[in-house]
Amino acid sequence: MTNNGMSWIRQKPGKGLEWIGRIDTATTVAMYASSFQSRFSFTQDVSSSTQYLQITSLTTEDSAVYFCARLHTFDYWGDGTTVTVTPAGPDVSATLFVLSPLKGEKVNTDDLGPDVCLVTGFRPKEGNITINMKDGPVTVSPTSAVLSKDNTYITAEFRNETIYSCEMNGAIGNNEADDVCRNIHPEKAKLNFYLLLMNGVRVVFTKALAFSTVLTIRGLLF
C-alpha cells in the first residue's frame, strides 16, 4: 500500500465529483482542498492495507458518496460509501400550499405560469408527495428539497395544469381561495410571500439562462 498515494473524492446527489485531498501513504503526509481543511482528515493502517477518512461536525451538506482512488493515475477506485446526514430533531409534518396564478378577465390562460405545490416545514426528507390533477394523481419524491434555517425541509413542484390539491404523509393542501378581502389573514400573507418567492426564482433562472445564451452566441460570432 505504501507504494501508491491515495486520493479521496466525493459526489453529492445530482452534482459532479469533488476532490477532497490526498495522502502520501509512504510518509502519511496529507494535503486537503481548501474547502476540506478544517473537518476532514486521512489516516491509514498499513498492516491491514486500510485507508480511513474522518469527518467531524457533520452537516447535511456532507451527504454524498465518498470514494478513494489511487493517486495520479486514478485507475483503481473503491466502490464508494454512501453517507446520509439528517438534521437532528423529531419528525415534523409538512405544511402544504397550492399556489395558482390569478386569472383575470383579460388575461390569456396560455400566458399564465404553472400551478405550484409548495411543501414546507417537514422533517425528515422521506415519503412521497401526491399531486392531484384532472388526469389523476402524480406521485413524486422530495429528493430536491432543501434544508431551511429551522432544520426543516422545503420543496416545490411545478405543473402546467391545474393542481386541485397535494398531500404528503397525511398532510394536505388545496387551491381553495377566499373571494373577499375581509377573509385575508396573516396566513394568507404568508402564501403571497411564497408565491412571490417562487415567481422570483423563476425570473432569476430565466434571466440567467438568457444571459448565458447571449454569451454563447456572442462567442460563436466574434
Return the pLDDT at 217: 47
pLDDT tens for each residue of 204-222: 555 555 555 544 544 444 4
pLDDT tens for each residue of 165-182: 999 988 888 866 544 334
At residue 21, does pLDDT exceed 50? yes
DSSP codes of every residue in 42-95: EEEEGGGTEEEEEE-S--GGG-EEEEEEETTT---B---EEE----SS--B--E
At residue 33, does pLDDT exceed 50? yes
Return the pLDDT at 138: 93
pLDDT tens for each residue of 55-104: 998 888 899 999 988 877 777 787 889 998 877 778 889 999 998 877 65
pTM above 0.85, yes or no: no
Nearest to 98 by CA among 179, 143, 161: 161
Do the beta carbons of residue 52 and residue 44 sit within 8 Å? yes
Return the pLDDT at 211: 52
The residues, ordered by sequence, that sit 6+ positions from 127 with a Cβ below 8 Å of its Cβ are 142, 168, 169
Rounded Cα distance between 183 and 154, Å, is: 26
Return the pLDDT at 1: 60
